A and B are shown apart, each in its own frame.
Chain A
Amino acid sequence: MSEAAAARIPEVLRATSISLAAIALALAASAVLILLAGADPLVAYWALLQGAVGDGFALGNTLARTTPLIFTGLAVAFAFRCNLLNIGAEGQLYAGALASVVIGIYLTGLPAVLHIALAIAGGFMAGAAWGGVAGYLRSARGINEIISTIMLNFVAIFFVSYLVHGPLAEPPGFFHQTAMVAESARLPVLYAKSDLSIAIFIAVGFALVTAYVLWRTPFGLKLRAVGESTGTARFAGVPVNRYVFGAMSVSGGLAGLAGTTEMIGGQYRLLDFFSPGYGFDGIAVAFLGRSDPIGVVFAAFLFAALRVGANQMQRTTGLPTSLILVIQGMVILFILGVAVLEWHRRRRRG
């Protein structure tokens, strides 16, 4: 292990313990809600755990749901390393899904490897283009990316809705959905019952690549320099605007892959409003993972496990699955609280 990596260990340990403490606090606070609802928190949490990782089917479901969250989490984390807040992962996801589905349906007769590669490249580029719009507006026009990405989300989501209701609707057009992507564009399935494909490996692979780019390449170093201090980076000769544009584009591309893997890794066709908010969850996932690509993988798994386990919890105890959103919201608030308090404490100690 290199010295630089070794030096990061205490930092990683501290970040991990903060995240774990916040999760414990959120579960404890939610237990009060469960009691008020007249259920037993221990029974509920046990059902949640069983439903999430209790058997192969549950674990398969959880891993399938982890995949898009890794991508959107990576997207937000990557931009955040450049001090950019990409609230637009949801829209970029739709852009990526759209491109991949179009490639998957209309480019036929290709060998599977090539077809899949094209669908992935197309999804990345479409997401990158959509994120790049926000990056361009920020670097060339000085428009805050938080504001532009909120707007771009809705534009992408409604545009996809328009397409599946009209131009891209599967003939004869009774249903508001596209046709299915060709067999050759589908990712190999790992576990058919739970829609788990090799997309999960692609996602983890991208997390490793993202970590490498951020920590080990000049591009990543300069990108983080811009994120730490724009003024200093500019003084050191980093073309800040180009890095802002680049970071938003790559971030958008990663979010686009969340759409791609949903399309070619299990859903196979595009419906409007198909994403249950993976892009917005990406903000929470990136934050829980402390904007570290490896942390993002674990955070994505946790969020997916909560969502999947919630169904079992509902069946066993009758508690609404929406409790999971409450837990997720509280995890973030507690991390904000714990992290900031700890920062103050350290500062006081000097």
Chain B
Amino acid sequence: MEMFFGLLDPDYFAATIRLATPLLFATLGGILNERAGIINIGLEGTMLMAALTGVFGAWFIGSPWLGFACGVVAGALVAWIHAFVSISLGANQIVSGTAINLLGLGLSSFLIRIVFGLKEQQRVVPHFDLVSLPLLADLPLLGPVLFHQHALVYVAFLLVPVLWVILYRTRWGLMITAAGEHPHAASSVGIDPLRVRYACTVLSGALAGAGGAFLSLGQLHFFQDEMVAGRGFIALAALIFGRWNPVGGMIACLIFGAADALQFRGQAVGLAIPHQFMLMFPYVLTLAILIVVGGKSQGPAAIGIPYRRN
């Protein structure tokens, strides 16, 4: 019991939200492209390229916000490659995603050494600081948890209802779902599945890019090889866990963020679980959910299947 109360600490909840944020950006992106029928296992590489570009942008322009914007654009451009190869060329989406991961891993590690030089790879760049919202931040308990965060945290969590409304309450949402469930039927009622898929994939890259740039500019303040550390794959787990729904995805990200925060916290309060099991947790939980729900709700029907015009 004592250990449990050790975790009931505003810092722990604040860390949970902070760690969930980059995941949430990527998860929302993943939901968008998967609902349109495109699977992108290259989120990891996309986030890495965005984390790097964010650092370059922040350093050379001198502003974390413009650096972040560079990261978002970089994410969109990397996803554009995936869109071109898997939508225009109709190639295997998994293989394309694998190539993007290799490319992102290699290119980010190559460019940081070339641009900043071997000795200054981990140069600290202009970055985001925590923002305290006036008055709200002084609230007991809730203040430090919710209102003493990075500005981008609010952006990420605001995107959840925005994406939910788009997907479930607008014509765009219908078009996206049609492209992902039955592109041929969509095409017969005048929707162009290729364009919908393109738009969703590129936007999804921008969101994953936001996640990557948040990691480098909001959390680490510099770039490090492989710094995304599997979060692109956790995002894939989170969106399945959340049944391709932005709200479900958010809940998954918070759970995974809490597990992540526990790694640091658990040692401090003497939690007896080895940290490897905490790292494993998102994946085991997702597998368990998959097994319980089974193949009944596997997500969009046409996911991963290239669409060709007749």
Interface residues of A (CB under 8 A from B): 33, 36-37, 85, 87, 137, 141-144, 146-148, 150-152, 154-155, 158-159, 161-162, 165-166, 280, 283-284, 287, 319-320, 322-330, 332-333, 336-337, 339-341
**A336 contacts which of B91, B110, B279 (Cβ < 8 Å)?**
B91
A150 touches B41 (CB 8 A): yes
The 7 closest A-B pairs by CB, nearest first: A142-B295, A325-B106, A329-B103, A329-B102, A322-B109, A332-B99, A162-B276
Given A33-B110, A284-B99, the answer on whether A141 and B294 have CB atoms closer than 8 Å is yes
A325 touches B103 (CB 8 A): yes
Question: Which residues of chain B are within 8 angstroms of A327 by Cβ–Cβ distance?
Answer: 106
Question: Which residues of chain A are within 8 angstroms of B295 by Cβ–Cβ distance?
Answer: 141-144
A341 touches B89 (CB 8 A): yes
Question: Which residues of chain A are within 8 angstroms of B41 by Cβ–Cβ distance?
Answer: 87, 146, 150
Mostly, the A contact residues are helix
Question: Which residues of chain B are within 8 angstroms of A142 by Cβ–Cβ distance?
Answer: 294-296, 298
Closest residue to B277 on the A side, CB-wise?
Answer: A162
B109 touches A158 (CB 8 A): no
Q: Is B135 located at the chain interface by the 8 A CB criterion?
A: no
Q: Is B217 located at the chain interface by the 8 A CB criterion?
A: no
A336 touches B89 (CB 8 A): yes
**A158 contacts which of B95, B101, B277 (Cβ < 8 Å)?**
B277
A158 touches B280 (CB 8 A): yes
A286–B107 alpha-carbon span in the complex (Å): 22
Question: Which residues of chain A are within 8 angstroms of B274 by Cβ–Cβ distance?
Answer: 162, 165-166
Closest residue to A38 on the B side, CB-wise?
Answer: B114
Closest chain-A Cβ to B47's Cβ sits at a distance in Å of 15
Closest chain-A Cβ to B275's Cβ sits at a distance in Å of 9
Given A147-B236, A158-B279, the answer on whether A325 and B291 have CB atoms closer than 8 Å is no
A322 touches B280 (CB 8 A): no
Q: Is B237 located at the chain interface by the 8 A CB criterion?
A: yes
A152 touches B276 (CB 8 A): no
Given A141-B291, A162-B274, the answer on whether A146 and B102 have CB atoms closer than 8 Å is no
- Chain B interface: which size bin? 35 or more
A154–B274 alpha-carbon span in the complex (Å): 15
Given A280-B98, A326-B106, the answer on whether A154 and B85 have CB atoms closer than 8 Å is no
Question: Which residues of chain A are within 8 angstroms of B100 by Cβ–Cβ distance?
Answer: 329
Question: Which residues of chain A are within 8 angstroms of B287 by Cβ–Cβ distance?
Answer: 148, 151-152, 155
The contact string, 1 if C-beta is below 8 Å from chain A, for chain B 90-125, is 111011101111111111011001100000000000
Q: List 18 A-B contacts (CB under 8 A).
A: A137-B291, A141-B294, A143-B290, A143-B295, A143-B298, A146-B304, A151-B283, A155-B284, A155-B287, A283-B94, A319-B110, A322-B105, A322-B113, A325-B109, A329-B104, A329-B106, A332-B95, A339-B91
A152–B236 alpha-carbon span in the complex (Å): 13
Question: Which residues of chain B are within 8 angstroms of A162 by Cβ–Cβ distance?
Answer: 274, 276-277
A332 touches B102 (CB 8 A): yes
Question: Which residues of chain B are within 8 angstroms of A165 by Cβ–Cβ distance?
Answer: 274, 276
A141–B90 alpha-carbon span in the complex (Å): 28
B91 touches A340 (CB 8 A): yes
B39 touches A146 (CB 8 A): yes
Question: Which residues of chain B are within 8 angstroms of A87 by Cβ–Cβ distance?
Answer: 41, 94
Given A165-B276, A325-B106, the answer on whether A284 and B98 have CB atoms closer than 8 Å is yes
Known contacts A147-B240, A319-B110; 19 additional CB pairs below 8 A are A142-B295, A144-B295, A150-B233, A159-B280, A165-B276, A166-B274, A284-B99, A287-B98, A323-B110, A324-B106, A325-B102, A326-B107, A326-B110, A329-B99, A329-B106, A332-B99, A333-B96, A336-B91, A336-B99
Question: Which residues of chain B are within 8 angstroms of A152 by Cβ–Cβ distance?
Answer: 283, 287
**B92 contacts which of A137, A154, A159, A336 (Cβ < 8 Å)?**
A336
Question: Which residues of chain B are within 8 angstroms of A161 by Cβ–Cβ distance?
Answer: 276, 279
Closest residue to B99 on the A side, CB-wise?
Answer: A332
Closest chain-B Cβ to A166's Cβ sits at a distance in Å of 7
Question: Which residues of chain A are within 8 angstroms of B39 by Cβ–Cβ distance?
Answer: 146
Question: Which residues of chain A are within 8 angstroms of B21 by Cβ–Cβ distance?
Answer: none
A333 touches B280 (CB 8 A): no
A231–B287 alpha-carbon span in the complex (Å): 28
Q: Is B230 located at the chain interface by the 8 A CB criterion?
A: yes
Q: Is B81 located at the chain interface by the 8 A CB criterion?
A: yes
A337–B298 alpha-carbon span in the complex (Å): 29
**A340 contacts which of B90, B98, B225 (Cβ < 8 Å)?**
B90
Closest chain-B Cβ to A123's Cβ sits at a distance in Å of 22
Q: Is B201 located at the chain interface by the 8 A CB criterion?
A: no
Question: Which residues of chain B are within 8 angstroms of A340 by Cβ–Cβ distance?
Answer: 89-91
Question: Which residues of chain A are within 8 angstroms of B113 by Cβ–Cβ distance?
Answer: 320, 322
**A323 contacts which of B106, B283, B294 (Cβ < 8 Å)?**
B106
The contact string, 1 if C-beta is below 8 Å from chain A, for chain B 271-306, is 000101101100110110011001110100000100
Question: Which residues of chain A are within 8 angstroms of B294 by Cβ–Cβ distance?
Answer: 141-143
**A328 contacts which of B92, B106, B114 (Cβ < 8 Å)?**
B106
